[in-house]
Structure 1
């Protein structure tokens, strides 16, 4: 059976598609605290103190760090703080830098107003610069307190700024899980919580190492990016995928709020060919035929799509309901709800390999009576379920029906590699 294109229920135990995290909703930003400038006989000023503060524009990881405000000199010591006092929307990857000219810093602390945590940093041996070591938190207000010395006199100062708020955070989720094993035709998908405008910069932030020699990206929407190798992954190998988007400007003021790294393995080369002319499924493992079974495909009103399809997910049992196809009792195509056995999903819209119903057993290898699925005898469906895995290939031919849309599952292998990155290229779907 084929479910409507909008129906994307996962099999039992399969996590739903990534949703925007709860923290991504806008929260009221904490008020900033005015920079204080305390001057003794020595004379010391916080960068951008008082009414001379010049707010810095929001920055990205690839842009120059937040500019300090003009420095004032009262005596021989000048102190600068970056980000400048009262600056908002500071990119958390921009370092906090405190510098002293004409004297030395003796103490610098940077603390978060919300969590109370102190930012780790390092003071140069000559005492002229303090620099933070790690990225800051998002949607946080930070207070910089410092002490500077000239001769035997100490003076103190304070400066406050805030980082990118929750409404401008963006994260990414992958469709592969760390430590899992997939078939050699597995496509890697990146789902962003916010639309991406700076697509080239995001692609540069993604690395895929191991089990392939060449690969390419394809955007299916402003939030969905996929990567596939030119040829299938090497069998029995390891692939590491990294999306370094922390601090990346995705566009529209959205900043990546964290990096993601996933390592998965590939299994044996496993594929199945389904031919409507002979109504058979032939399975291959590492190029060797391992099984051949009669099948039934989609009937003339619900034909099976053609082309290369990758197994998305599997379940020992899965509930099928005609209502998912908008079929009601009395419709000639209606069927009572039933639980299909040994199910391997091929498209989100509802094509599966599964054990055929008892009523279909007599026509296996003879006629097509399904709603788009590949119905198999019990031993054949069990073999595919137990031997094959997500990422393995199932190719259907000779149904005289177009391919499924490439993002209705993982039909990326129906796109010639030289056209893969061209979002406007359209095949037989």
Structure 2
């Protein structure tokens, strides 16, 4: 849904930080000495043997005729690859009891946790195994005087098929009530319905919806702004989930954040003012300058993405060079609140623009303010608060050029093909 490039403001068109994948271990499977025993544990295969002194040592049976030699079955079967680490390892015998079962990681030497049924006929692993790891399953089963021993090997999903998820909200932080939650997946998602069901959002809202902006970018917004001064918990339970194309989620992620007061600013090009509101009450009005005729400010509802006390603006990021009519030397803007990734900000205007505040538009798309106004927005507002710009006679910013999701009517939000005034 990326729109064609449009002129924007001082800084480079920065994309939001890329989703950072979790650390992935790449281990070489250790197989030396195992070739002779791999066939023993195929799912449903008989691991018992009536031949005493089995030279392989994998199916030795007691010579006594008392009882039946146990047959042991293992899931996953011997030599299986790309096993889902969340799937249980099951070892079962059809006679007697299992007396010893171990599932050992070849690289780390760690043993999987597991439990034996009361009657001793089945052992089942508990908890997830590691990704990109080779495991050896070893067992002993006894029925009367007869005993079976054996082992088999399998490997879990490799690093090339792991998938991570990251979010644009951080645990323990406070955001404005207009914050949109974004989840970024390290691999393309084709099983979108299943992944939506794996994501839960609890607290501070009555209704909400998902919208996919690409196969790797999913957003959630409530129908109405979050309840002020409340708690929101977002859980992406993708461990072991199939994202599609053989990609398996390698971990869950949960983030809990709080919301602040309801804060928004209303910027009107007709009056060239910014009016700030906190919990519905006007808290300040300041004159502004917006984008000029060649670099107009986009309209619509824009959520503050990030803030900085100082931020370097460079005309070169707009492909302007010395001698161009709109070129300006690099400078450090003060009290900056970013509205779009492509370069619209609320910030303190340069002293040379003070005389036109409230009178004329001279910026490259930004909302330029007097020092006291920019300072108020920077110190009072936070990421997740709203700045709405009207009457510039220019379209809205593309919704994913920032968090412009509030420009989409809620009844159309789930329809990723619905297009508004951008």
With normalisation by structure 1, the TM-score equals 0.89
Partner of 1:348: 341
CA deviations on 1:379-409 (whole Å, 9 max, x unpaired) are: 0000000000000000000000000000000
- In the TM superposition, what is the alpha-carbon distance from 1:71 to its structure 2 partner? 3.5
Task: State the SS of the aligned residue for 1:340.
Answer: strand
CA deviations on 1:64-102 (whole Å, 9 max, x unpaired) are: xxxx24336654422111111000000001001100111
CA 1:30–1:3: 2 relative to 1, 3 Å: farther
Task: State the SS of the aligned residue for 2:24.
Answer: helix
CA distance in 1, matches of 2:410, 2:389: 20
Task: State the SS of the aligned residue for 2:148.
Answer: strand
- Kindly indicate whether the alpha-carbon contact (under 8 Å) linking 2:10 and 2:364 is maintained by their aligned counterparts in 1: no
Partner of 1:229: 222
CA distance in 2, matches of 1:344, 1:317: 10
Partner of 1:409: 402
**1:250 and 2:251 equivalent?**
no
- In the TM superposition, what is the alpha-carbon distance from 1:152 to its structure 2 partner? 3.2
- Kindly indicate whether the alpha-carbon contact (under 8 Å) linking 1:182 and 1:392 is maintained by their aligned counterparts in 2: yes
Partner of 2:416: 423
CA distance in 2, matches of 1:78, 1:111: 21
**1:8 and 2:14 equivalent?**
yes
- Kindly indicate whether the alpha-carbon contact (under 8 Å) linking 2:48 and 2:148 is maintained by their aligned counterparts in 1: no
- Kindly indicate whether the alpha-carbon contact (under 8 Å) linking 2:272 and 2:287 is maintained by their aligned counterparts in 1: yes
- Kindly indicate whether the alpha-carbon contact (under 8 Å) linking 2:9 and 2:364 is maintained by their aligned counterparts in 1: no
- Kindly indicate whether the alpha-carbon contact (under 8 Å) linking 1:4 and 1:349 is maintained by their aligned counterparts in 2: no
Structure 2 regions of 5+ residues with no counterpart?
1-6, 50-67
CA 1:393–1:87: 2 relative to 1, 3 Å: same
**293, 309, 334: which one pairs with 2:302?**
309
Task: State the SS of the aligned residue for 1:145.
Answer: strand
Partner of 1:105: 98
**1:18 and 2:24 equivalent?**
no
For structure 1, which segment, 28-37 or 325-334, has the greater mean C-alpha deviation from structure 2 after superposition? Answer: 28-37
- In the TM superposition, what is the alpha-carbon distance from 1:9 to its structure 2 partner? 6.0
Partner of 1:196: 189
CA distance in 2, matches of 1:19, 1:251: 20
- In the TM superposition, what is the alpha-carbon distance from 1:27 to its structure 2 partner? 6.7
- In the TM superposition, what is the alpha-carbon distance from 1:103 to its structure 2 partner? 1.0
CA deviations on 1:226-257 (whole Å, 9 max, x unpaired) are: 00000000000000000000000011110000
**1:47 and 2:41 equivalent?**
yes
CA distance in 1, matches of 2:194, 2:205: 22
How many residues get paired?
397
- Kindly indicate whether the alpha-carbon contact (under 8 Å) linking 2:314 and 2:331 is maintained by their aligned counterparts in 1: yes
Q: Report matched runs for 1:49-64 at 5 Å.
A: none
Partner of 1:70: 45
- In the TM superposition, what is the alpha-carbon distance from 1:17 to its structure 2 partner? 2.2
Task: State the SS of the aligned residue for 2:312.
Answer: strand
CA deviations on 1:172-198 (whole Å, 9 max, x unpaired) are: 000000000000000000000000010
CA deviations on 1:343-383 (whole Å, 9 max, x unpaired) are: 00000000000000000000000000000000000000000
CA 1:189–1:5: 2 relative to 1, 3 Å: farther
Partner of 1:36: 37
Partner of 1:299: 292
Task: State the SS of the aligned residue for 1:344.
Answer: strand
CA distance in 1, matches of 2:79, 2:44: 10
**260, 273, 276: which one pairs with 1:280?**
273
Task: State the SS of the aligned residue for 1:23.
Answer: coil
Partner of 2:151: 158
CA deviations on 1:124-182 (whole Å, 9 max, x unpaired) are: 12110111111000000000111111113433111110000000000100000000000
Partner of 1:95: 88
CA 1:30–1:250: 2 relative to 1, 3 Å: farther
